[in-house]
Structure 1
Amino acid sequence: MSNVRWESPFPYTLAFNLFKKHLEEINRSYWAFVPAANTIKALANQELVDKTADPKKFFKIPDEEDRRIAPTYEEWKNDFSEFINYSRLNIIMMLSSCFETYLRTVVSLAFESKPGVIIDCKDAVDGARILKKDITYGDVTDKSYRFTEAIDDVCRGEWDKRFSSFQKYFGSAPKELLGLSRELDELRITRNNIGHYFGRKKKDYEAPIDFEPNETIKVSHKRILKYFKLIYLTARLIDGYLQKNIIGSYDIIKRYFIAISKGEIIKDKMSSDAYQLKKMIGRHELKKLSKSYYNELITFCETNYVECETDCIFTKNRCVQEINRRLTDKGISLIFNGRKVLFDSLAFKILLTKDNLYTDSRFSKRAVDNRHQVQYLHSSALIEYVTQKLELNANTIMNELKESFML
Structure 2
Amino acid sequence: MPFDRWKPVNQYSLAWRLFQRHHTHFNRIFWSDQAARRRVYTFTRGKVKSIPAKDIFPLDEHPRALLENLGEWSQNYNAFDRWARIAAVAALTGYLETFISQLAYAALESCPALLVGGSREIDGVIHLKNNTFPELERAVSPLVRGEWSSRCSAYATLFGSCGFTAHISTLEEMRNLRNDASHSFGRPIASMRMAEKYLVERIDKISDARIQGFLGAVESVAKSIEKDITHRFVGAYESMRIYHNWPRKNDFSGYSLKSVAMDFGGYYQEVTSYGIPKYVGVSLIQHYQKL
- The reply to whether TM is greater than 0.5 is yes
Q: Which residue of 2 aligns with 1:357?
A: none
Structure 1: distance between partners of 2:117 and 2:80: 50
Relative distance call for 1:81 and 1:265 in structure 2 (3 A) is farther
Structure 2: distance between partners of 1:63 and 1:180: 47
Structure 1: distance between partners of 2:267 and 2:221: 28
Shift of 1:168: 0.7
- Structure 1 position 226 matched with structure 2 position 210: no
- Structure 1 position 245 matched with structure 2 position 253: no
Structure 1: distance between partners of 2:20 and 2:185: 27
| Matching residue's letter, 1:106 | L
- TM-score between the two structures when normalised by the length of structure 1: 0.65
Structure 1: distance between partners of 2:157 and 2:53: 59
Structure 2: distance between partners of 1:69 and 1:24: 34
Structure with the larger RCO, 1 or 2 (CA within 8 Å, 6+ apart): 2
| Matching residue's letter, 1:75 | E
Shift of 1:19: 2.2
Q: Deviations over 1:334-367 (max 9, x none)?
A: xxxxxxxxxxxxxxxxxxxxxxxxxxxxxxxxxx
| Matching residue's letter, 2:80 | F
Q: Deviations over 1:31-88 (max 9, x none)?
A: 3312211111112224x1x23233222221238624x425332222111111111222
Answer with 1 or 2: which has the greater Rg.
1
On the 8 A contact 1:103/1:235 being kept in 2, the answer is: yes
On the 8 A contact 1:265/1:277 being kept in 2, the answer is: no
Q: Which residue of 2 aligns with 1:42?
A: 42
Aligned residues with identical type, % of pairs:
23
TM alignment of 1:7-406, pairs within 5 A: 7-46=7-46, 48=47, 50-62=48-60, 65-66=63-64, 68-69=65-66, 71-134=68-131, 137=133, 146-174=135-163, 177-208=164-195, 210-259=197-246, 262-263=247-248, 266-267=251-252, 269=255, 272-283=259-270, 284-286=272-274, 288-303=275-290, 305=291
Q: Deviations over 1:212-267 (max 9, x none)?
A: 222213212222232223222221221221101111111111111111xx336731
Shift of 1:160: 1.3
Structure 1: distance between partners of 2:141 and 2:110: 17
Q: Secondary structure of 2:45's partner?
A: helix
Q: Deviations over 1:77-119 (max 9, x none)?
A: 1111111112222222222222222221111111111111111
On the 8 A contact 1:109/1:251 being kept in 2, the answer is: yes
Shift of 1:189: 1.0
Residue correspondences, number: 288
Structure 1 residues without counterparts, runs of 5 or longer: 138-144, 306-407
Structure 2: distance between partners of 1:40 and 1:20: 30
On the 8 A contact 1:170/1:246 being kept in 2, the answer is: no
Structure 1: distance between partners of 2:76 and 2:249: 52
On the 8 A contact 2:5/2:237 being kept in 1, the answer is: yes
Shift of 1:289: 4.6
Q: Secondary structure of 1:65's partner?
A: coil
| Matching residue's letter, 1:267 | F
Relative distance call for 1:64 and 1:125 in structure 2 (3 A) is closer
| Matching residue's letter, 1:61 | L
Q: More displaced, 71-80 or 180-189?
A: 71-80
Structure 2: distance between partners of 1:102 and 1:221: 24
Relative distance call for 1:235 and 1:266 in structure 2 (3 A) is farther
